[in-house]
Amino acid sequence: MAQVQDKAVEGVKQPKPFDAEMEIAKLWAKCQAAQDEIRRAFYCSREAGIQRAGDDADPTAIALKAWEVRGKDAAKTFFPRINLAKGNLVEEIGKLYVNAWRNQGAVVKLKKSENPDEVFIVWERCPWPTAAKNYGAPMAEDVAGCDLMLQTTIADVALFINRRLKIETLKAIPRGEGTCVRRLWLEH
Amino acid sequence: MARQIFEWDYSQYPGATTYPHVFSPIQIGDLVIPNRIKYAATEDNLNTHDGYVTDEDVAYITSRAKGVAGGICTMQGVYMDERRYGQGYVGQAAAWDDKFIPGLKRLADAIHGERAVANYQLMHCGRVGGVETPVCEGPSYLPQRLRLFKPVHEMSHEEVELSIQQHIDAARRGIEAGFDMMEISGIVGYLISNFLSSYTNRRSDEYGGDIHARCKFMTDIIKGVRKEIGPDIPLIIRICAWEQLDDVGGNTQEESMIVYQEAEKAGVDSISVTVGWQESIVPVISRDIDFGSWLYQAERAKQHITIPVSMAYRLFHADMADQAIADGKIDYWENCRPQIADPLMPLKHLEGREEDIRWCVACNVCLARLFRDAPMTCYINPLCAHEHDPEYYPQPAKTKKTVFVAGGGPAGLECAWVAADRGHEVHVYERRDKLGGTIIDAGKAPYNDDELYHIIEFHKAQCDKRGVEFHLGEEVTAELLEEELPDTLVVAAGSTVRTPTFFGGDRDNVITLHDALYETKPVGDHVVVWGNRKPAIGTALALAKRGKKVTLVGKDRTVGKDINPSFRWRYNIFLRQNGVVSYNDCDIEQVLDGQAILVTYDGHRVPVKCDTVVLGERDPNPTLKAAAQDNSIELYVIGDAVVPRGLSGAVHDGYKTGLRI
């Protein structure tokens, strides 16, 4: 590590020696805290919606509506990144999903298929079922919510670019299947 | 039988010889226009929110009409639906009822008052409309790519037919208001372009389908308007030759030419060739696009149609237009932003006064303002949108004063010529041996930033004509003030490079942006530029072009906060393309051997490779204030000497101060 040798500008304290490991550890902790905050905010808003709707309302219906709204907004973040003139469309859309979930703390990968119009998105780890458990939401809601979000996003993306894109859930962690696997494909 | 509305004889003017093609007549439909100049329709947001024409708009258009020297002057496009879905700008003029005719007539009369040809434009903004309604309307529902725009209401068959009739009715109102020509706007994402494009038109009725079917909305409007206005009124349409929407499945360039042919068949007399949509991810008109870049599209259009063709985009100078006409690429010259910057630009060409032209710098601040519901303004023309206000024009000074201007940059020079115009005796002191100040440095940045220097050439010519005395290589000092005792001192000394506040800021490898730009000190391979506003960005790009690996570090939360949003996105792309990494909301903490430690706003520290630190932050230059006050000299501080800003702040400060002295 380089040594501090310079004199300070007047009024500026000499900084502590730089410790890369400590800085990375602090940043990583903050990143994870920010990811947790996404889920905390979602489930608090879900709870607010359920309480506001009253006893007669169906909590799952409210939660699913929230997932649908998230799906629509996710589509809006996809639009500026879509380029039909570049690359394989299905792969490019698949990468957008992958990046969106990685930002939330999931371990997720894109798996190519022999069919160029088909890819598989594999979640090896996802923090959302844990959050659902922590906030008392049923696992069935988590699967349905996530699925609805993906479906809503792909519907808007398909509408935007006028292509018949589809997504389906093949496996889901909250169902005890170990990984989440989604098939994304282009229909002709 | 061809007819001409106003007779113009250009033979006595030098421009007729210099630009013989521009100042030769052209026939559009049955109308002979004395020259080949057209002021293109420009929204100005100067009208009332419900679409009535104001004094401000009349004054704005009058000055542009004077500038075309007998050519075509187009008013801003009108929307024609009472629901206001077609309104794309808060100050857009309306024509959905006869009650708007008197206001429209004021515009036609104003244009005629300058002996120019009055062109009326129909403009339903379609997908980018509905500026004050919850939704806009279009041929098909599809989500908006840009969050700025409203959700699209898909028009029913009845609504499509109603819209066609509304175009026709609005056309009639234009003719009743006294306009000589009619223009239909089908560009950049407006309603007609929405119907034409495979990106936005997925209808299954007669208005959707292949390119010929998608043309039906346009051709129905053309035929209906033609029938309404009769054969004698020339009819123009503006359409994209290339939508630049290949990334989302827009029309091919071949399809665009079919549109041109359909428009001609339907009865238009001329086509204005445009390129790109507001949703395009490719730049079309910003300064980084070279002059004349799009002429090949006009040339292509001429190969497909037989009627006259015009074009505006990045065709600022009459010599370019003249050559393009001579080469058969266009038939007449349109301009828009150049006449926002200088309403009399074409007239000055005619009169051989090119040195008096305030050249547009293609910064797009005019567009940025319109998209944010603000009245039009111009970066380098302080009078723009204030043409109606007598206080914005130089008036003879009541008391003639001796004025010293400290600084020969854009603020000082603008102030100098305006003050001299009002009768003051003005001396400009500039410590360098060349006028221009910060603009000289700014011109070192890539992507055509050298165009910025045109404003200095304009200033110098204006100062020379008004007897301003330049003292190059001389500074105003306290001693000079005490000795000469001028009545007024204008401090336009610009900014100074901020002294580094970080540890290691006294190292030899910490240099100023001037040292870096002029290569007066060595610059290593890994460079950290301190600052994330325009001067730092320009320097970073210049260094990146020299092959340096550059990191920008600035306290603003976004890079280029001082650049208007309609141009900032270009800089973001330039930085990315040149591999410049930006750390925003950050500062330099310390400079060490071979690296700098950056610190985020919340205290996290990041090491980056660094051989050289370039200081790009600025502070106002506080010079001379005390000396002026000690000698009871009237004092003004302007431009970067107040707060470091861009060229616009300098020019506007200078102009307004020149009016006040």
At residue B286, the 3 state secondary structure works out as: coil
Q: How far B500 CA lies from chain A's nearest CA (Å)? A: 8
Kindly list the residues from chain A whose CB atom is less than 8 angstroms away from the CB atom of residue B147: 76
Q: What value does the CA radius of gyration of chain A take, rounded to a whole number of Å?
A: 21
Amino acid at B560: G
Helices marked H in B508-597: 513-517, 534-545, 565-577
Q: How confident is the model at residue A11, as a pLDDT?
A: 67
Six-digit token pair at A28? 């990583």
Closest residue in chain B to residue A77, using alpha carbons only: B145
Q: What is the DSSP letter of B331?
A: S
Cross-strand pairs, B496: B619
Residue A126, pLDDT > 50, answer yes
Kindly list the residues from chain B whose CB atom is less than 8 angstroms away from the CB atom of residue A9: 499-503, 505-506
CA proximity to B655, closest of B523, B462, B450: B462
- Cβ–Cβ < 8 Å for B614, B527: yes
Inform me whether the C-beta atom of residue B565 falls under 8 Å from chain A C-beta atoms. no
Q: What are phi and psi for residue B416, nearest 5 degrees?
A: -60, -50
- Give me the sheet containing B469-472, strands edge to edge: B469-472, B425-430, B402-406, B488-491, B634-637
Q: How confident is the model at residue A3, as a pLDDT?
A: 43
CA distance B404 to B595: 46
Closest residue in chain B to residue A19, using alpha carbons only: B605
Question: Shortest CB distance from B501 goes to which of A6, A12, A84?
Answer: A12
CA distance B354 to A26: 61
Closest residue in chain A to residue B148, using alpha carbons only: A76
Q: What are phi and psi for residue B46, nearest 5 degrees?
A: -100, -10
At residue B342, the 3 state secondary structure works out as: coil
Per this entry, what is the length of chain B? 661
CA angle B397, B376, B112 (to 5 degrees): 80
Kindly list the residues from chain B whose CB atom is less than 8 angstroms away from the CB atom of residue A159: 141-143
Six-digit token pair at B276? 């790109």
Kindly list the residues from chain A whose CB atom is less than 8 angstroms away from the CB atom of residue B242: none
Q: How far A32 CA lies from chain B's nearest CA (Å)? A: 15
Closest residue in chain A to residue B605, using alpha carbons only: A23
- Give me the sheet containing B549-553, strands edge to edge: B510-512, B612-615, B526-530, B549-553, B581-583
CA proximity to B254, closest of B300, B208, B295, B294: B300
Cross-strand pairs, B74: B119
Task: Indicate if ipTM > 0.90.
Answer: no
Q: Quote the percentage of chain A above a pLDDT of 70.
A: 94
Kindly list the residues from chain B whose CB atom is less than 8 angstroms away from the CB atom of residue A83: 247, 281
Closest residue in chain A to residue B597, using alpha carbons only: A18
Q: How far A77 CA lies from chain B's nearest CA (Å)? A: 9
CA distance B592 to B282: 41
Question: Shortest CB distance from A9 goes to which of B501, B592, B594?
Answer: B501
Q: How confident is the model at residue A9, as a pLDDT?
A: 61
CA angle B291, B294, B298 (to 5 degrees): 130
Q: What is the pLDDT of residues A12-41, one digit of tens each?
A: 678 888 999 999 999 999 999 999 999 999
Q: How far A138 CA lies from chain B's nearest CA (Å)? A: 32
At residue B339, the 3 state secondary structure works out as: helix
CA angle B596, B602, B605 (to 5 degrees): 25
Question: Shortest CB distance from B500 goes to which of A9, A75, A160?
Answer: A9
- Cβ–Cβ < 8 Å for A93, A74: no
| Ranges of chain B whose pLDDT falls below 70 | none
Furthest CA-CA distance within chain A = 70
- Give me the sheet containing B26-28, strands edge to edge: B3-4, B31-33, B26-28
CA distance B389 to B385: 9
Q: What pTM, to 2 d.p., does this model score?
A: 0.93
Q: How confident is the model at residue A2, as a pLDDT?
A: 40
CA angle B313, B317, B319 (to 5 degrees): 120
Characterize the bridge pairing of strands B37-39 and B31-33.
unpaired
- Give me the sheet containing B605-609, strands edge to edge: B586-592, B595-600, B605-609
Helices marked H in chain A: 20-53, 59-78, 89-103, 128-134, 139-161
Inform me whether the C-beta atom of residue B597 falls under 8 Å from chain A C-beta atoms. yes
Q: Which residues of A touch B (CB under 8 A)?
A: 2-9, 11-12, 14-15, 18, 20, 23, 26-27, 30, 75-76, 79-80, 82-86, 156, 159-162
Characterize the bridge pairing of strands B270-275 and B309-311.
parallel
Residue indicated by tokens 């006409």:
B325
CA proximity to B425, closest of B406, B411, B405: B405
With a CB cutoff of 8 Å and minimum separation 6, the contacts of B73 are B38, B39, B61, B64, B65, B111, B114, B116, B117, B118, B119
Closest residue in chain A to residue B149, using alpha carbons only: A76
Contact B247 A2 (CB under 8 A): no
pLDDT band for position A138 (cuts 50, 70, 90): very high
Please give the torsion angle defined by the CA atoms of residues B185, B374, B170 and B200, in that order, rounded to the nearest 10 degrees. Answer: 40
CA distance A126 to A102: 9
Residue indicated by tokens 């003051």:
B424
Kindly list the residues from chain B whose CB atom is less than 8 angstroms away from the CB atom of residue A87: none
Kindly list the residues from chain A whose CB atom is less than 8 angstroms away from the CB atom of residue B595: 2
- Cβ–Cβ < 8 Å for A125, A107: yes
Residue indicated by tokens 């325009």:
B534
Q: How far B622 CA lies from chain A's nearest CA (Å)? A: 21
CA proximity to B77, closest of B235, B150, B183, B225: B183
Inform me whether the C-beta atom of residue B282 falls under 8 Å from chain A C-beta atoms. no
Task: Tell me the average pLDDT across A86-105.
Answer: 95
Six-digit token pair at B103? 């206001």
Q: What are phi and psi for residue A16, nearest 5 degrees?
A: -70, 155
Question: Shortest CB distance from B593 goes to which of A2, A9, A86?
Answer: A2
Cross-strand pairs, B599: B587, B605
CA proximity to B546, closest of B518, B572, B571: B518
CA angle A99, A103, A106 (to 5 degrees): 85
Residue B277: other Cβ atoms inside 10 A: 28
